[in-house]
Amino acid sequence: MIVVKIFLLLSLIHISHQLNNGLGLTPQMGWNSWNHFGCNINEKLIQQTADLMVSTGLAAAGYQYVNMDDCWQVSRDANGTIEADPKAFPSGIPALVDYVHSRKLKFGLYSDAGFKTCDGRPASLHYETKDANTYASWKVDYLKYDNCYDDGTAPEVRYPIMRDALNTTGRPIFYSMCEWGVDQPALWAPEVGNSWRTTDDIQDNWKSMLNNIDINNEYADKAGPGGWNDPDMLEVGNGGMTDAEYVTHFSLWAISKAPLIIGCDISKMSAATLATLTHPGVIAINQDPLGAQGKKVAFSWSKASNSSTGIGLTNCSTSSLNAQPKRVTWVYNSTDGSIRSNSGEKCLSIENCDTSDGANIVAIDCQINDPQAKCQGKNQQWTVNTVDQTIISQMNNKCLQTFRAAGPAVDVSTCNKGNGQKWTWHSVDNTIENDLNHGCLTQVPELEVWAGDLDDGSVAVLLFNRGNSVSEPITVQWSDIGFPVRDSALVRDVWAQKNLGPYRYNYTSSNIDPHSVMMLKITLYAENAGFKTCGGRPASLHYETKDANTYASWKVDYLKYDNCYNDGTAPEVRYPIMRDALNTTGRPIFYSMCEWGVDQPALWAPEVGNSWRTTNDIQDNWKSMLNNIDINNEYADKAGPGGWNDPDMLEIGNGGMTDAEYVTHFSLWAISKAPLIIGCDISKMSSATLATLTHPGVIAINQDPLGAQGKKIAFSWSKTSNSSTGIGLTNCSTSSSNAQPKRITWVYNSTDGSIRSNSDGKCLSIENCDTSSGANIVAIDCQINDPQAKCQGKNQQWTVNTVDQTIISQMNSKCLQTFRAAGSAVDVSTCNKDNGQKWTWNSVDNTIENDLNHKCLTQVPELEVWAGDLDDGSVAVLLFNRGNSVSEPITVQWSDIGFPVRDSALVRDVWAQKNLGPYRYNYTSSNIDPHSVMMLKITLYAENENNSQAN
């Protein structure tokens, strides 16, 4: 509760570094007296509540705190010690605490960082140490600290004082900061409290609940174990919403990792309320130890005709998730008074012609002057007053307003000349900006997808229909939750507690009612294979001959044969069965084996298929593409005419990389003699995509009849100071081309936590201080404890644990890992005890070997030379700058490509389709941009033979 309702207004973990109480590793769960009882509290109520917490099963479900809010205190004694109301608490607070503790529960109290509490009782400003010591002596476990009647000092100053006082007591007391979000505590409170209010007080209605969770969502990246965003207590069971809306309320709080503090009278809970509050699957998502706050990841519009959409405020820029500029732009017609959205030409309307203050605002099909419409469409007519900046309803003369400085909510109310009722209409872009919080009037899409990572690698997903009128299906795309789009995943309905089956690409729900949700847990399948396809359809295990004959009768020319849902038989046994079945048909059918590289098919598949996947599925991003081609490179000598290494299909044109990166992607596939299988929507190809995919010179290198797979033959390091180098895995021996032993050896300094490369002294680092799972790893100049460095170099500090073999970041407690058995990629992720996160530090040679694939941590040079022989005696060469930041020249030496070093050779730029001239000894390019390539065809001159004899 607050006196003045004002407040200001999408990796991952912020541990409360200075609170040091070890609490709040998951969001707190308990009960608080305020929402239902207000000041009407007493000793009997708290005792009864504690008893009911146990007898109803709430305690067993995880609710542990019994918290008294305002109005328990009445005065201070002569020594300044806070005193409880003797009438309401005749036995005193210590006795009440003992009673709650006797029920195996914990006890919480309330105070305020002002002179008085919000209800005018004695508060803790200037009594912080006294009160903290008193609470500790009473064995209090939890303090809710409000923000009324302060002295004008910023909360950033006042709240740490109580934190320090609590710390000094030595008793772990959960510190719940109730600052209402006014000074955006999510930006500074992780160093102060265990939770912090991001919003004004919740009210027991749909609009208030949505307003609070929408604000809370904006700070999703600020919460994590030890410190949580708090959109206020639960209203579930207080009667202001339907049971279905309470399910939605509870689901939103759960996926958002919000505190689950019950606010109803539990002595009068309905069966539906109890079932909602104690659902084990939903609570498990809230209490997941990873602590990743779920957030909005996608939205879509209703497909129903004449459906209404909500209206709110959002950032006036259109750079937010899935933003559609038209939903924040409007057209005013002064003749009929309509304000129409540019996104669908719906009219700004007072919902249901409601004439009361606080009436809801929606956008709905225009019905102005329609005699059949409710109130004949007068609820859609407005007067825009440019003098006083008001927008006034012609139906009831009330003003359009936002009533909270930080909130997205919009309604109408009696005109009062406040800034919340002033609007600036920007004629340049047709946005309508509120003067109170500078948010712009926006249509809010009805259908939302919320998602958050879980500790076991799964993702919690909430499909939310926030619309008011129409039941509709909602789709979650794998791409929206960070899953490979073609991978198969198990979808589980959390509320129904049942598995819905495997899905690929996405999952679409059945119709979800207005104001309702469907909560899912989605888990990628590991190595499945055989009886069903990866999408769960009938597959060919034990039907090889039948299916092969069917395909031949259909005149099929190509079979891609995947590896999901198998019976445990080795691929070396299963894949030849289909080969033999295809051979028997007599029809030539290209046999593409998609075994994902799990059993190293390059070592046995040349006798079985025409191509074989060497890698897991590619994803449409730079990191995945590089990982796949690096793995594929290891098997270069296994491919040739009739059988090819396959690093997966092309992503060119799908939008996840730049055009220049797609040129690199295509060049690497071409020189590697990889299958060129387009994977984009060719009906929507850009001219750049088409030009890349059809380049005759590059395709000629891929299709060269000699069939010699190009491979890495040389590398060099960037000559630029403070450039970062990539980190990968390589064979622990140093026998590879141009190997430099020092690039795979490291030194650990346990004092400063650095892991330094022996090759150049650079520090192993999480790139850009990224706190998310999957964050990239690089080596860069050491900046530990440098106040000018991003995150002060904490991204370069590690703990090497020789007991469980983990290497843990001191910045975010994530584990260094490789995430694929065959892969070269290295990143950090939530620690999970898998072999991919176990490392053996070999003290003899200072290599760091991964237990999953027995490869060693290595610096990956930025500048590479790839080469492969061609049928006409030339050599195809790729000069590749895989670095992230610096344009640099790259040199190919004749000795590296098998040419006599003194011989003259013609160098041709393949992409530019022009000869660059004759060169001797080597060729050095002009600067090549990061993530870019130069492809060459180098041909010895015929007269070199005579010249060499003469010499």
Sign of the torsion angle spanned by Cα atoms 610, 616, 621, 625 = negative
Span 220-235, pLDDT tens digits: 999 999 999 999 999 9
Q: How far is CA 320 from CA 314, 383, 402, in A?
A: 9, 30, 21
Q: Does residue 947 carry a pLDDT above 60? A: no
Q: Does residue 911 carry a pLDDT above 50? A: yes
**d(C-alpha 747, C-alpha 756), whole Å:** 5
Long-range contact pairs involving 789-795 (C-beta distance under 8 Å, separation at least 24): 793/763, 794/769, 795/765, 795/766, 795/767, 795/768, 795/769, 795/770
Average pLDDT of span 253-276: 98
Q: Which amino acid is at 891?
A: T
**d(C-alpha 540, C-alpha 593), whole Å:** 13
Q: How far is CA 201 from CA 231, 250, 450, in A?
A: 8, 16, 23
Of 94-108, 332-346, 690-704, 890-904, where does mean pLDDT reach its minimum?
332-346
Of 146, 200, 827, 896, which residue is the catalytic one? 146
Q: Does residue 949 carry a pLDDT above 50? A: no
Span 598-650, pLDDT tens digits: 788 999 999 999 999 999 899 999 989 998 999 999 999 999 999 999 999 99
Helix (H) or strand (E) holding 144: strand 142-146
Query: Helices 155-169 and 128-137 sit at what angle, rounded to 10 degrees?
Result: 40
Q: Does residue 445 carry a pLDDT above 90? A: no
Q: Does residue 538 carry a pLDDT above 90? A: no
Q: Does residue 743 carry a pLDDT above 80? A: yes
Q: Does residue 5 carry a pLDDT above 70? A: no
**Residue bearing the bigger pLDDT, 282 or 506:** 282
Average pLDDT of span 891-898: 96
Q: How far is CA 61 from CA 30, 268, 274, 283, in A?
A: 10, 18, 11, 8
In this prediction, residue 740 carries a pLDDT of 59
Average pLDDT of span 272-292: 98
In this prediction, residue 836 carries a pLDDT of 86
Span 669-717, pLDDT tens digits: 999 999 999 999 999 999 999 999 999 999 999 999 999 999 999 988 8
**Residue bearing the bigger pLDDT, 823 or 911:** 911
**d(C-alpha 521, C-alpha 702), whole Å:** 43
Q: Which amino acid is at 564?
A: C
Span 492-524, pLDDT tens digits: 999 999 988 778 788 999 899 999 999 999 987
Of 112-126, 194-208, 697-711, 779-793, where does mean pLDDT reach its minimum?
779-793
Q: Where are the beta strands (DSSP E) in 270-422?
A: 295-300, 309-314, 330-333, 338-341, 347-350, 359-364, 382-385, 390-393, 399-401, 411-413
The partner residues of 107 in beta bridges, in order of sequence, read 66
Residue 595's SS3 state is: coil
In this prediction, residue 950 carries a pLDDT of 30
Contact 112, 118 (CB under 8 A): yes
Pairing of strands 174-177, 142-146: parallel
Confidence of residue 527 (pLDDT cuts 50, 70, 90): very low
Pairing of strands 863-869, 904-909: unpaired
In this prediction, residue 15 carries a pLDDT of 38
Q: Does residue 560 carry a pLDDT above 60? A: yes
In this prediction, residue 18 carries a pLDDT of 57
Average pLDDT of span 186-211: 96
CA dihedral 299, 302, 307, 311 (to 10 degrees): 10
**d(C-alpha 248, C-alpha 260), whole Å:** 14
Sign of the torsion angle spanned by Cα atoms 657, 662, 663, 665 = positive
**d(C-alpha 144, C-alpha 108), whole Å:** 7
Q: Which domains does the chain have, with CATH numbers?
A: 29-288 (3.20.20.70), 309-444 (2.80.10.50), 446-524 (2.60.40.1180), 725-860 (2.80.10.50), 862-950 (2.60.40.1180)
Of 51, 201, 493, 781, which residue is the catalytic one? 201
Token pair listed for 172: 């772990």
**d(C-alpha 65, C-alpha 224), whole Å:** 20
Q: Tokens 């469409």, residue?
A: 377
Average pLDDT of span 334-339: 95
201 is an active site residue: yes
In this prediction, residue 849 carries a pLDDT of 94
Of 75-79, 149-153, 716-720, 852-856, where does mean pLDDT reach its minimum?
716-720
Average pLDDT of span 296-302: 88
Q: Does residue 824 carry a pLDDT above 90? A: no
Query: Which residues have CB under 8 Å from 284's CB, separation 6+?
Result: none
In this prediction, residue 819 carries a pLDDT of 65
pLDDT more than 70, % of the chain: 93
- Our CA angle for 663, 619, 702, nearest 5°, is 40
Token pair listed for 852: 């999953």
Residue 928's SS3 state is: strand
In this prediction, residue 13 carries a pLDDT of 35
Average pLDDT of span 137-143: 99
In this prediction, residue 484 carries a pLDDT of 79
The phi-psi region of residue 207 (left if phi > 0; otherwise alpha if psi is between -120 and 50; otherwise beta) is: alpha
Span 48-85, pLDDT tens digits: 999 999 999 999 999 999 999 999 999 999 999 999 99
Confidence of residue 530 (pLDDT cuts 50, 70, 90): low
In this prediction, residue 406 carries a pLDDT of 60
Mean pLDDT estimate for the chain: 90
Phi, psi for residue 601 in degrees, rounded to 5: -60, -25
Span 458-481, pLDDT tens digits: 999 999 999 888 899 999 999 899
Most confident of 481-485, 814-818, 872-876: 872-876
Of 63-67, 308-312, 553-557, where does mean pLDDT reach its minimum?
308-312
Q: Does residue 303 carry a pLDDT above 80? A: no
Does the pTM surpass 0.85? The reply is: no
